[in-house]
């Protein structure tokens, strides 16, 4: 038995839904999910079923036979025209009969014999097959005076009666070369997210717009529009830390030493080309010097570009499990959350995630304990020896932190962040994820506990270093490099703004 989805396009008339359900019943398919909302799209219905492969094929063939199965997402052709029909009983009905027989969807009718404008009827039509428009016009012209106002064979003028078709063609611009089957699957997942959000009182149209805004934000910050806020921190023995706040999502960190470099997190895959160009601007383009790529956790904005750099990546073994299951909530008490699983698939798609083929797990053996957090491994580069600290699973199962106590350097991933100094644009983007999954943390109570532990580690180290005029430097997964300041975090050092024009 497998789980399958169908996107159906059924007539907006009594009995249509029952007819589709009967097809599934008669062929032994159990309906697990159905979603139809006439306010969104009067013809599109989403089904998920459990069935054997033979039953699935039988259902698919029967739905196709009765014209209900949607297998492609070709844009409808749209046309608007003026037409003169006699102002007499039955004239409009006769005209509409011709239109109906061509299986055209009427999107506009406008006529008033008291209007001072003219005596013509304005007609808008939408058809999936553009050749049918030509045949319809051939039938109409001998009988009526007709003038075409607009004719469009793209999706630009699709109206709300084909909402999901319009949505699919917008999504297509954000995904990476999807075919129609891929798009239908994306559409089904998107609909499922909106169905779940509607249960919490969120407006479906608003939810769709939030999803599209996520894709638009990523696409709109590529190439000439790419930028980053950059901090450079001098470390011992001529080493340097570079922290790049990318336009959307997590930070990319580079530690450059005389004996090689490490990357800590990679940002989204969609930024890979722009990141390479940016790293070249800062003299970091030679990837043969990269000894390790470290992934703090499995969210796409922290590991999605790892497959573009041609290097193995090191991470917690649980992070490998999360990535395999394509569910950011795997391993948590919210593992069965529909929103978490579907959001993972959607953001991976929009951000062009490509995960390194060579994921090497850190040791899981506990070496020591820092408060409540276990130290499970060590990572060395040049003069630095980092302790690999295992999180409790608050933000995500398998998230790790890196601590270099002698240098006073700690990477706190997405648990300890300087939220106050994250730019407005990045905050707005981050809030899209909050809207779509209700919380970016898979276990909020554990996050609070982890944050307390990390702050205690940082404060203890800061107290020791302060006596020698140094500070504990905190590198969060988002936002600026910071130091402790009263009850919060304050940016450390200067921040420079990088743009595509600078590198050019």
Distance of CA 352 to the CA centre of its chain: 9
For the question of whether the overall pTM of this predicted structure is more than 0.85, the answer is no
Which two three-digit tokens encode residue 162?
A: 């084909």
Q: So what's the architecture of 77-157 in CATH?
A: 2-Layer Sandwich (3.30)
CATH 1.10.4080.10, domain 223-503, yes or no: no
Which residues does the chain have with pLDDT short of 70? 73-76, 114-118, 128, 152-162, 504
Q: What is the pLDDT of residue 88?
A: 86
Phi and psi (nearest 5°) for 150?
-140, 145
Q: What is the pLDDT of residue 132?
A: 80
- Tell me the domain boundaries of the chain: 2-65, 77-157, 161-219, 223-503
Q: Which of 254, 255, 252, 253 is nearest to 237 (CA)?
A: 255
Which two three-digit tokens encode residue 180?
A: 């129609």
> Taking CA 333 as the corner, what is the angle to CA 330 and CA 336, rounded to the nearest 5 degrees?
60
How many Å apart are CA 239 and CA 221, to the nearest integer? 31
Q: Which fold is adopted by the domain 2-65?
A: Alpha-Beta Plaits (3.30.70)
Q: Is the dihedral of CA 497, 295, 368, 234 positive or negative?
A: negative
Q: What is the pLDDT of residue 176?
A: 84
Q: What is the pLDDT of residue 504?
A: 63
Q: What is the pLDDT of residue 155?
A: 47
Q: What is the pLDDT of residue 421?
A: 96
How many Å apart are CA 323 and CA 349, to the nearest integer? 14
CATH topology match: 2-65 vs 223-503: no
């Amino acid at each position: 038995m497998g789980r399958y989805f169908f996107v159906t396009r059924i007539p907006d008339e009594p009995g249509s839904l029952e007819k589709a359900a009967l097809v599934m019943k008669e062929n032994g398919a159990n309906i697990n999910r159905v979603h139809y909302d006439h306010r969104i799209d009067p013809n599109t219905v989403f089904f998920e079923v459990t069935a054997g492969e033979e039953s699935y094929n039988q259902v698919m063939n029967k739905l196709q036979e009765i014209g209900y199965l949607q297998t492609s997402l070709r844009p409808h052709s749209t046309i608007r025209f003026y037409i003169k029909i006699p102002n007499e009983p039955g004239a409009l009905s006769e005209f509409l009969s011709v239109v109906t027989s061509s299986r055209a969807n009427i999107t506009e009718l406008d006529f008033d014999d008291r209007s001072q404008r003219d005596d013509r009827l304005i007609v808008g039509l939408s058809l999936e097959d553009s050749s049918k428009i030509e045949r319809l016009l051939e039938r109409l012209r001998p009988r009526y005076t007709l003038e075409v106002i607009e004719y469009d064979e793209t999706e630009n003028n699709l109206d709300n009666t084909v909402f999901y078709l319009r949505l699919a063609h917008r999504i297509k611009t954000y995904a990476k070369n999807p075919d129609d089957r891929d798009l239908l699957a994306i559409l089904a997942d998107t609909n499922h997210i909106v169905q779940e959000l509607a249960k919490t009182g969120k407006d479906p149209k608003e939810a769709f717009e939030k999803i599209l805004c996520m894709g638009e934000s990523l696409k709109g910050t590529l190439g000439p529009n790419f930028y980053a806020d950059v901090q450079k921190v001098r470390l011992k023995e001529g080493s340097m830390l570079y922290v790049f706040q990318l336009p959307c999502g997590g930070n990319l960190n580079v530690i450059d030493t005389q004996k090689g470099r490490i990357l800590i997190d990679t940002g989204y895959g969609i930024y890979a080309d722009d990141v390479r160009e940016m790293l070249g601007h800062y003299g970091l383009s030679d990837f043969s010097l990269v000894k390790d790529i470290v992934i703090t956790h499995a969210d796409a904005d922290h590991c999605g570009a790892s497959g573009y750099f041609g290097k193995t990546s090191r991470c917690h073994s649980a992070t490998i499990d999360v990535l395999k299951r394509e569910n950011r909530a795997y391993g948590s008490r919210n593992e069965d959350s529909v929103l978490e699983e579907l959001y993972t698939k959607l953001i991976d798609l929009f951000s062009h995630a490509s995960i390194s083929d060579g994921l090497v797990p850190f040791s899981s053996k506990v070496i020591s304990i820092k408060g409540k957090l276990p130290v499970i491994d060590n990572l060395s580069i040049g003069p630095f020896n980092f302790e690999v600290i295992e999180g409790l699973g608050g933000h995500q199962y398998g998230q790790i932190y890196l601590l270099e106590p002698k240098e006073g350097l700690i990477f706190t991933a997405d648990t300890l962040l300087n939220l106050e100094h994250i730019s407005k644009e990045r905050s707005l983007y981050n809030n899209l994820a909050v809207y779509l999954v209700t919380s970016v943390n898979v276990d909020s109570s554990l996050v609070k506990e982890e944050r307390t532990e990390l702050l205690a580690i940082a404060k203890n180290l800061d107290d020791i270093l302060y006596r020698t005029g140094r500070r504990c430097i905190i590198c969060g997964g988002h936002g600026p490099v910071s130091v402790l300041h009263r009850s919060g975090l304050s940016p450390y050092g200067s921040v420079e703004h990088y743009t595509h024009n600078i590198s050019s």
